Structure 1
Amino acid sequence: MITIIIIYMHRFFIFCIICSSITFLHYPALAASSGYTVADIQRIGLQANGLLQAARSEVDIAQAEVTSASAFPNPEVTFMAGPDSPRLPEIDTGPSSMQRQVTVSQSLENPWMRRARIEAAESGVDVSRANLEQVRADLAAQLRIHIYEFLLRRGLAEMESDIFELMREIQQRIKLSVELGETARFELIRADTEVMTAASRKEAALLDTERARIALLQLTAGALPPEFTVAASLDDPVEQPTLDALRKELSTQNPEIQRLEAEQARARLRIDQERASVLPSVDILFSNFQDKQFVSNTAGLSVRIPLFYQRRGEIDAAVSSAAKIRQTLDYRRYEVDRLLESAWQAKEIARRRVEMFEGGIVKEAETALRVAEVAFRLGERGFIEVLDTQRVLRNARSELLQAQFELQSAAAEIDRLRAYYPQE
């Protein structure tokens, strides 16, 4: 009986393993879910950040202003009533009566001014949308830079932890040699100092990592869980178009240039609006008058003629504002192009540094440290040689991590200039 139970339990165990394997094969996303990707964090930040929500509200406000600009003027109705008070005897004027008068006034808008006002409001919507795009691009770039800064700090913390473990292992060896009388106590004091220094650097690196984590939580408005993990690495590939292709893309995709172009169009339309307002404006009038004896209906026109002041100041101010925006646009086009070249050069310099450190410097430093460790264990080299090679390797690894971070930062700046980011 016991044998049969064991056989069934064995078969059930095999069945569970097969089911787990099938589940793993059919749901690789769940099995490989090890953290948030860079694009995931960017999408979360773009959805949750309060500044971006405020920029979206600005677009809604601008669209409401288009509705206001498209509205027709409302008619005005005036009602007056009151009794007659005769100044002569009633036998001459007759009995007193009640007077009533209703006047309706309707403004006729200048069609040129109305069209310019509506188009200026529509240009305001384009300005708000370009500003929203600018906020999105800036936030996405900041998120990407902070993600890789978090990875940089984490990498430095791991490196300092490795150094601390190495120093502590060497300290134990030196302590044992001192107890056996093979090494002077001065070496143990030096090793203790190096262990305390390594521990201090390790704690500082861990605190920097936590600070970078908090900065990411701040940019995402707390939408990320406190103990989130990032499924990315500093050596992630950076693939972007050529510099000439980026220049062409920048002229049509850069949000700041788009915003200034929309502001320039709005400024030109404001000039048209101010010039059109010089034309005479007309109101249609209709009046109904009633008393005890008479009913009177009259109609007419009310024309406002700009005879003495023809809005010269407003027109000049609109022209100067348009010139200012045009000059700003020309300068920003030049400046954005220079920023692109600078970011491109920074990316290429960082790429060369990464290739240089990955190609030989770090490997040679690691080999030198391994040789020094073996020689120290065999008693052929002292603690100073191990310490020197460890410092060389630490500097090389730090430079490599920093170069990888600079490469990712330069790529993020290029993507910011061309407004390239994952959509919400």
Structure 2
Amino acid sequence: MQKFIILLSLFFSLTPIVWAQDSAKVWAQDSARKFSIEEIQRLGLEANGLVLAARSQVNIASAGVVAASAYPNPEVLVMAGPVGKRFPESITGPMADQRTVTVVQPIENPFMRSARIGAAEAGVEAGRASLDQVRADLSAQLRVRAYELLLRQEQAALEQSIFDLLKEVRRRIKLNVERGEAARFELIRADTELRSAENRKEAARLNAERARVALLQFTAGALPTDFEVKGSLKDPVALPSLEILRREVPAANPEIVRLQAEQERAKLRIDQERASVLPSVNVLYTNFQDTQFTANTAGLSVRVPIFYRRRGEIDSAIFDSARVRETLDFRRYEVGQLFESAWQALQIAQRRVDMFEGGLIKEAENAVEVAQAAYRFGERSLLELLDTQRVLRGILGDSLQAYFDLQAAAAEIDRLRAHYPKELIPE
């Protein structure tokens, strides 16, 4: 019985520092390559198909500017055919052919042209903002998934350490029961605790694998399957002050920037439709030749909008501009609220982290030591001692979750202000 108590003393005196060391031993792989958070973000931004598709949209919009800036091509009309005689050949001469060549050059309305080019350029800005939004969203997801993998690995390592120790305790209890030094009820209780620890260990391991697969999915397979994340849940979170962020988020948020560009494009579309009401002019030149004559004529062709003045197209552009403006106002308010919510989540997570670092874990460890001493003197049962240890395990798990929540809240704020490693992204 004395050996059993000594074994329990060794088991319950273990601290989170020892578990952290075991965590490094369980998850360290010499053959695996370690990637920092920024490296994972870079690989994901380079390989993810959504980013590549958004970049193609920018190229399409840039091509639209070229098309909008082009001048209209001239039209050439050629007509030729034989000339039939109505009078005797002595009067008209011999039969011959005649041909007519007409060149029509449209003269574009400069007001409509400038509005069309401006709308196309605004489309490019909207495309770039959409690309930034895809990048910011993916970068934040990659960051959260990377820290989730670290969280699941820490939890799995913690559960593995508990399982290994309970397995050894169960083996010792079995020996004591066989020698008659302990009651068989202690072995039943140890078996129950061991099975529970084994279930938690397997669940934690599967959760870690699930987090690894999710990160591989977001990087489109750019990471090797045996990769490791070079980082920690305790990585420092560096953010500007609340006042600076409140000014920065509405100005830098990609969705707001995109809606602003779309609003400008909608306004220019109104100008384009109104300018199209003005008369359009075509310059014409005609060359006529037959056997006896050659004629060169020039003139103008003017289309006068008398019966229909594009009222439907103008109204459609006005209503579309109002739709974009209302969407912009709502999204600007909504993004502000999302930022305030993310900031409050950050503060809550920070307070929880400070609480755990401020002595809560140490108090739980001290409670385990007191329960251990009481058990030695027979003042507490083994079940009470295990309950105390279970409380410590729960506090350690909550502390890991608090660190993860802090990183997730910081990633959400960076997403709203489009803060990601832009310098690592090839254009």
Question: What TM-score comes out, normalization by structure 1 length?
Answer: 0.89
Q: Matches of residues 384-423 of structure 1 in structure 2 within 5 Å?
A: 384-423=383-422
The alignment status of 1:190 with 2:189, answered yes or no, reads yes
Correspondence for 2:57: 58
Encode CA deviations 1:122-181: one digit per residue, 9 max, x unaligned.
Answer: 000000001111111101100111011111111110111122122212212221221111
Tell me how far apart the structure 1 counterparts of residues 51 and 100 of structure 2 sit (CA, whole Å): 55
Correspondence for 1:4: none
Q: Matches of residues 202-281 of structure 1 in structure 2 within 5 Å?
A: 202-281=201-280
In the TM superposition, what is the alpha-carbon distance from 1:386 to its structure 2 partner?
A: 2.7
Tell me how far apart the structure 2 counterparts of residues 253 and 406 of structure 1 sit (CA, whole Å): 24
SS at 1:36 equivalent: strand
SS at 2:281 equivalent: strand
Tell me how far apart the structure 2 counterparts of residues 322 and 40 of structure 1 sit (CA, whole Å): 41
In the TM superposition, what is the alpha-carbon distance from 1:93 to its structure 2 partner?
A: 3.8
> Contact 2:33/2:226 (CA < 8 Å) preserved in 1?
no
Q: Matches of residues 264-343 of structure 1 in structure 2 within 5 Å?
A: 264-343=263-342
Correspondence for 1:80: 79
Tell me how far apart the structure 1 counterparts of residues 377 and 228 of structure 2 sit (CA, whole Å): 42
One-letter amino acid of the structure 2 residue matched with residue 203 of structure 1: E
One-letter amino acid of the structure 2 residue matched with residue 162 of structure 1: S
Larger mean CA deviation between 167-176 and 311-320 belongs to: 167-176
The alignment status of 1:143 with 2:142, answered yes or no, reads yes
SS at 2:363 equivalent: helix
> Contact 1:84/1:99 (CA < 8 Å) preserved in 2?
yes
Distance 1:92 1:293, change over 3 A: same
In the TM superposition, what is the alpha-carbon distance from 1:368 to its structure 2 partner?
A: 2.9
Encode CA deviations 1:351-408: one digit per residue, 9 max, x unaligned.
Answer: 1111112222222222333454566578765331232012101211111111111111
Q: Matches of residues 347-386 of structure 1 in structure 2 within 5 Å?
A: 347-373=346-372, 381-386=380-385
SS at 1:140 equivalent: helix
Distance 1:109 1:299, change over 3 A: same
> Contact 2:251/2:257 (CA < 8 Å) preserved in 1?
yes
Encode CA deviations 1:241-267: one digit per residue, 9 max, x unaligned.
Answer: 111110111132111111111111100
In the TM superposition, what is the alpha-carbon distance from 1:337 to its structure 2 partner?
A: 0.9
Encode CA deviations 1:296-339: one digit per residue, 9 max, x unaligned.
Answer: 11111111111100000100010111111111111111111111
Distance 1:100 1:302, change over 3 A: same
In the TM superposition, what is the alpha-carbon distance from 1:190 to its structure 2 partner?
A: 2.0
SS at 2:34 equivalent: coil
Tell me how far apart the structure 1 counterparts of residues 364 and 96 of structure 2 sit (CA, whole Å): 113
The alignment status of 1:40 with 2:39, answered yes or no, reads yes
One-letter amino acid of the structure 1 residue matched with residue 280 of structure 2: S
Question: What 5-or-longer segments of structure 2 have no aligned partner?
Answer: 1-31
Larger mean CA deviation between 377-386 and 237-246 belongs to: 377-386
One-letter amino acid of the structure 2 residue matched with residue 193 of structure 1: T
One-letter amino acid of the structure 2 residue matched with residue 290 of structure 1: Q
Tell me how far apart the structure 2 counterparts of residues 89 and 372 of structure 1 sit (CA, whole Å): 134
In the TM superposition, what is the alpha-carbon distance from 1:34 to its structure 2 partner?
A: 7.4
One-letter amino acid of the structure 2 residue matched with residue 359 of structure 1: G
> Contact 1:127/1:260 (CA < 8 Å) preserved in 2?
yes
SS at 1:57 equivalent: helix
Correspondence for 2:128: 129
SS at 1:96 equivalent: coil
One-letter amino acid of the structure 2 residue matched with residue 235 of structure 1: K
One-letter amino acid of the structure 1 residue matched with residue 278 of structure 2: L
Tell me how far apart the structure 2 counterparts of residues 363 and 188 of structure 1 sit (CA, whole Å): 30
One-letter amino acid of the structure 2 residue matched with residue 344 of structure 1: W
Aligned residues: percent identity?
A: 63
> How many pairs were matched up?
393
In the TM superposition, what is the alpha-carbon distance from 1:90 to its structure 2 partner?
A: 3.6
One-letter amino acid of the structure 2 residue matched with residue 58 of structure 1: Q
Tell me how far apart the structure 1 counterparts of residues 340 and 263 of structure 2 sit (CA, whole Å): 26
One-letter amino acid of the structure 2 residue matched with residue 178 of structure 1: V
Larger mean CA deviation between 97-106 and 219-228 belongs to: 219-228
SS at 1:81 equivalent: strand
Tell me how far apart the structure 1 counterparts of residues 99 and 402 of structure 2 sit (CA, whole Å): 87
Encode CA deviations 1:246-290: one digit per residue, 9 max, x unaligned.
Answer: 011113211111111111110000000000000000000001111
Tell me how far apart the structure 2 counterparts of residues 382 and 167 of structure 1 sit (CA, whole Å): 17
Tell me how far apart the structure 1 counterparts of residues 396 and 357 of structure 2 sit (CA, whole Å): 9
Tell me how far apart the structure 2 counterparts of residues 135 and 163 of structure 1 sit (CA, whole Å): 42
The alignment status of 1:164 with 2:163, answered yes or no, reads yes
Segments ≥4 residues shifted beyond 4 Å: 370-381
Distance 1:389 1:166, change over 3 A: farther
SS at 2:73 equivalent: coil
> Contact 1:104/1:286 (CA < 8 Å) preserved in 2?
yes
> Contact 1:252/1:258 (CA < 8 Å) preserved in 2?
yes
One-letter amino acid of the structure 1 residue matched with residue 124 of structure 2: V
Larger mean CA deviation between 290-299 and 84-93 belongs to: 84-93
Question: What 5-or-longer segments of structure 1 have no aligned partner?
Answer: 1-32
One-letter amino acid of the structure 1 residue matched with residue 83 of structure 2: D
> Contact 1:34/1:231 (CA < 8 Å) preserved in 2?
no
